[in-house]
Amino acid sequence: MDLEILKKIIQKASWAPSGDNCQPWRFNWNGKQLKIYHIEVRAHHSLNFNNQVSLFTLGGLIEYLHIASLHYGYEPTFTLPDPTNLDPNFLTQVHFKKTTPQPQPLFEALSLRATDRRPFKNTPLDEKIVNNLLSVSKDFKQANAYVCTAPSEELKKYLVASEVLLFSNKAFLFDIIKWVRFRNKETIDSKDGLPWRNLGVGLRETIVLWLIKRYPKLYDLFKHMGMYNQVSLAAQKLVKSHTTFICFTVKSNENHLIESGRLALRSWLLLAKHGVSAQPMSSGAMLLYKQIVYPKDNFSTKAMTTHFNNGRLILQSSFGFSESERPIWLLRVGLSDPLNNNMKTYRRSVDQIFEVEA
């Protein structure tokens, strides 16, 4: 393996998304194989039950690695962790076989794809793109993608209420605030997390978040002052802008999360290639998945259980999937202007995330 090429592959793969841009991976080359370790302290999050979000995110990383490796002339084979017996710092191994470089239709999109949290334009998506999206899932056996181009009021209401439920959970709010970068210097120095301009919220809300990060005791005060009305208004604005939704499902449990992550990222890259913007809305699907797989935990309230039981039916009827499938992720997609540079996230450099064993 040419180490300079391996570094190029890892650099491209580092652009695979992670929740809050926590970048929970470290890469090690031992002369024979690439080992990818999950970094539990980075991935720790109240949404990440039993590392289910990390497994899904690993699927996206694998999709990136696969495309970049073939582009540079290496065919990768992945040895995946066993989701049913998962070490917190679980390992994925990659073997590379030299081949001739193969042009990859989604290679350019690896660096183009980015999360866009602004309302989208009032223009419907080209039907060809929607059909293309649907055909992507034919390559996957255990994961599926469904498109809803005319979301009902019921679906929109469910998605808004899911965002409010999520943000009104104290543990979740503090988990996300930890990753918000309030100053440019902080973003540039850490090269991870979320620049505040990328959050899609106004200056006033950003100041509230900054105050809570600095003085956690202010949380209760802001809660009583109606902080969640702002979350609700912001989410309403997003789902009301002409928006298509994609729902990703898995056929059963953890065993299929990696596959669904691959499908989701392949779909998102395809959208990016066609200039279509997207934002994950995890609350309406990831929390629902958790509810189905781990109905008993310390996180869910009774209100959440009722909300998500109802949500499962709303998603089934909106997207047309069967009762046996489990929704895992939702993307809000539409047309939008290019993102400004100060809205874009950073990644840690290859030297920070990659080591070669002596």
How far is 51 from 83, CA to CA, in rounded Å? 9
Q: From the list 9, 10, 13, 19, which residue makes contact with ligand FMN (rule: CB under 6 A)?
A: 19
Q: Does 269 engage in binding with ligand FMN (CB under 6 A)?
A: no
> Quick one: DSSP state of residue 255?
G
CA nearest neighbour of 112 among 246, 269, 266, 264: 269
Residues numbered 93 to 132 that lie near ligand FMN (CB under 6 A) are: 114-115, 117
Q: Does 56 engage in binding with ligand FMN (CB under 6 A)?
A: yes
Nearest distance from residue 98's CB to ligand FMN, in Å?
30
Q: Read off the tokens for 278.
A: 């997207």
- The strand pair at 180-181 and 194-195 is best described as parallel
Stretch that binds ligand FMN, among 123-131, 241-249, 278-286, 287-295 (CB under 6 A): 278-286
How far is 18 from 243, CA to CA, in rounded Å? 23
Nearest distance from residue 117's CB to ligand FMN, in Å?
5
Q: Label residues 203-225 b or e (16+ Cβ within 10 Å = b).
A: eebeebbeebbeeeeebeebeee
Q: Does 6 engage in binding with ligand FMN (CB under 6 A)?
A: no
# residues near ligand FMN by CB under 6 A: 19
Q: Does 327 engage in binding with ligand FMN (CB under 6 A)?
A: no
Q: Which residue's Cβ lies closest to ligand FMN?
A: 17
How many CA atoms lie less than 13 Å away from 56 in the CB half-sphere? Answer: 28
Q: Does 169 engage in binding with ligand FMN (CB under 6 A)?
A: no
How far is 51 from 315, CA to CA, in rounded Å? 24
CA nearest neighbour of 95 among 38, 40, 32: 32
Q: Does 51 engage in binding with ligand FMN (CB under 6 A)?
A: no
Q: Does 279 engage in binding with ligand FMN (CB under 6 A)?
A: yes
Nearest distance from residue 344's CB to ligand FMN, in Å?
6
Residue pair 319/133 in contact by the 8 Å Cβ criterion: no
Q: Looking at 134-285, which runs of residues are DSSP E strands? A: 143-148, 180-181, 194-195, 244-250, 277-280
Stretch that binds ligand FMN, among 93-101, 220-228, 251-259, 279-287 (CB under 6 A): 279-287
Q: Which is nearer to ligand FMN, 29 or 311 (CB)?
A: 311
Nearest distance from residue 243's CB to ligand FMN, in Å?
13
Q: Which is nearer to ligand FMN, 18 or 169 (CB)?
A: 18
Please report where in the chains the tokens 């009305």 appear, as a residue: 229
Bridge partners (DSSP) of residue 197 are none
Q: Does 21 engage in binding with ligand FMN (CB under 6 A)?
A: yes
| Contact footprint for ligand FMN (CB under 6 A) | 17-21, 53, 56-57, 60, 114-115, 117, 194, 279-283, 345
